Structure 1
């Protein structure tokens, strides 16, 4: 029994060793195959990325002073009433364009008109008395004092008439200048008080834009300098005007001075109170090196571009990532202060496919436009 048991144990041990060798060999073969596959993938060259390109070019930019402005009407008021009374007639519609002197609202004036008739009757009597006394004075019947008394009574009636007519005129509210009316604030039969707003009136053409500039630019800003303006209400559209007034005082708190420009607004697109981005074109010019804005790779530790250089084979390019220092931005272009030389070619789109020292193929068939003053077709 002991011999047969020993033989059985040896066979079991040999079988276990054989299984271990078999499975170990299979596992080692698998690991070796995976290693060789990863090594092949690591050494496999990546396909060349297709990008568009642009050449870093020098341009002459006119110096611009940027500011934030507010549009203001050349004339803009809340039309109010000087008298107290009940609204008897409304002669306008909200949003209507009116001319200077146009009657807008009438207040009830029956007592005032009745008093005017009384004064007109007194005027007739005062004139007759004055004419009668003057005729008698010529014949020497009356004294000079009697003539002066009747003349004074006539003048008083005439003055009272003028006061009464002015009182009635105050109950007729007219447009002080030509412009566009706002939304009506009163209704028929409403009892209004002196100073109460009837409607707003704005003269929209031309239109002012008020903005502030730092005091260091005071010497370079003069009258008639050209100004360009953009608003969020009409994106992509540029409005042009010129400086018409410069405040002679510099604000001691902000160290800024106020500037006013006048712009043509024949289409009445610009409205008072709008926010505006303003650029003043001063006479100074400077030479700058620019690339398209789309060529920049933005990151927290610095901006970079991919410079494209001819590869040794000559049929493709190699992308070299280079950090740059940027300056002013205008439209689709950005100024490069450091990192790129004039004439070097940079990738302008497809940057997500690029890696440092990676192969690149340039295809400029659908190259994005890049100008300092873009004008989109749908603007």
Structure 2
């Protein structure tokens, strides 16, 4: 019994070893096959990526100074009352344009008008008395003192009449200049006091923009320099004007000085109080290298481009990633301070398909725009 049991154990052991060798061989074969397949894929050349290209160009740019400005009306006031009384008539609508001298509001003035009529009657009497005494004085009937008294009485009535006319005129509020009204702040029948705001009036064309520049640019800023203005309210639209005033004082705290430019604003797009980006074109130019903005790869650790060079066979291109240092941006172009040279070719689209030493096909049938001053079709 012991011999037969030992033989059985040896057979089970041999069978277990055989199974292990069989499954181990299958596993080793599969691993070897996967390894060879991965090597084949790694050594398989990737298809060439199709991209557009652009040449690193050397251009001359007009030097610009950038600033943040605030728009301000050439004339802008809060129209107020000069007299106390009840509003008897309102002759405007909120937001409407008005001309200089146009009547806006009337304040009840019945007592003042009645007093004016009394003074006009006194004027007629004083004038008749003076003419009568003047005629008698010519005939020697009256003295010089009588003539002087009537003349003085006439002058006093005339002066009182002018004062009363001015009092009545204050109860008629008119537009001090042509412009656009704001929102009405009084109501019909309201009892207003002197100095109470009636409505805002702003002259929109032309319009000022005030901005500050560092003191190092003081010598470069002179009147009549052109400026370009953009606002968030009208993206993509530019407004042009010229510098009309320079504050002679430099702020001792910020070391900036104030500059004012005037813009025609014919469409009245620009309104007082709006924020604006201002670019001043000073009388200076500089030479620089530029590439299209679409050729740049932006990343937290540095911007880069893919430079395209001919391969050894001369029948295609290969790409190589290169880090660059950028400068000013203008339109579709970006200034390159360091990293590429004039005449080198960079990829301007399809950057996600590129890698170092990857094959590239250049197809420039649909190149991205690359203008320093782009003009959209709908501008």
Aligned twin of 1:217: 217
| Deviation of the 1:136 alpha carbon | 3.1
Q: Which runs of 5+ in 1 are unaligned?
A: none
Aligned twin of 2:114: 114
On the 8 A contact 1:60/1:285 being kept in 2, the answer is yes
Aligned twin of 2:23: 23
SS at match of 2:220: coil
Aligned twin of 1:89: 89
1:83-121 deviation line (CA, Å, top 9, x unaligned): 111111111112211111111111000010011111111
Aligned residues: 379
Work out the CA distance in 1 between the residues paired with 2:23 and 2:322: 52
Instruction: Give TM-score, length-normalised by structure 1.
Output: 0.97
Work out the CA distance in 2 between the residues paired with 1:247 and 1:87: 43
Aligned twin of 1:248: 248
Q: Which runs of 5+ in 2 are unaligned?
A: none
On the 8 A contact 1:237/1:375 being kept in 2, the answer is no
Work out the CA distance in 2 between the residues paired with 1:328 and 1:317: 30
Aligned twin of 1:197: 197
Describe how 1:303-314 pairs up with structure 2 within 5 A.
Answer: 303-314=303-314
Work out the CA distance in 2 between the residues paired with 1:12 and 1:163: 134
| Deviation of the 1:15 alpha carbon | 1.0
Instruction: Give TM-score, length-normalised by structure 2.
Output: 0.97
Aligned twin of 1:286: 286
1:36 aligns with 2:56: no
Work out the CA distance in 2 between the residues paired with 1:27 and 1:172: 104
Aligned twin of 1:13: 13
SS at match of 2:204: strand
Aligned twin of 1:296: 296
| Deviation of the 1:143 alpha carbon | 2.6
| Deviation of the 1:234 alpha carbon | 1.2
1:288-319 deviation line (CA, Å, top 9, x unaligned): 11001111112222211110001123232111
Work out the CA distance in 1 between the residues paired with 2:193 and 2:312: 88
SS at match of 2:213: strand
Aligned twin of 2:317: 317
Aligned twin of 2:128: 128
Aligned twin of 2:182: 182
1:349 aligns with 2:315: no
Quote the RMSD (CA, aligned, Å): 1.3
| Deviation of the 1:253 alpha carbon | 1.0
Describe how 1:248-287 pairs up with structure 2 within 5 A.
Answer: 248-287=248-287
| Deviation of the 1:130 alpha carbon | 2.1
SS at match of 1:258: strand
1:326-371 deviation line (CA, Å, top 9, x unaligned): 1111111111111111110001111111111111111112211011
| Deviation of the 1:145 alpha carbon | 2.0
Work out the CA distance in 2 between the residues paired with 1:8 and 1:183: 109
Work out the CA distance in 1 between the residues paired with 2:377 and 2:72: 29
On the 8 A contact 1:319/1:354 being kept in 2, the answer is yes
| Deviation of the 1:128 alpha carbon | 2.4
| Deviation of the 1:31 alpha carbon | 1.1
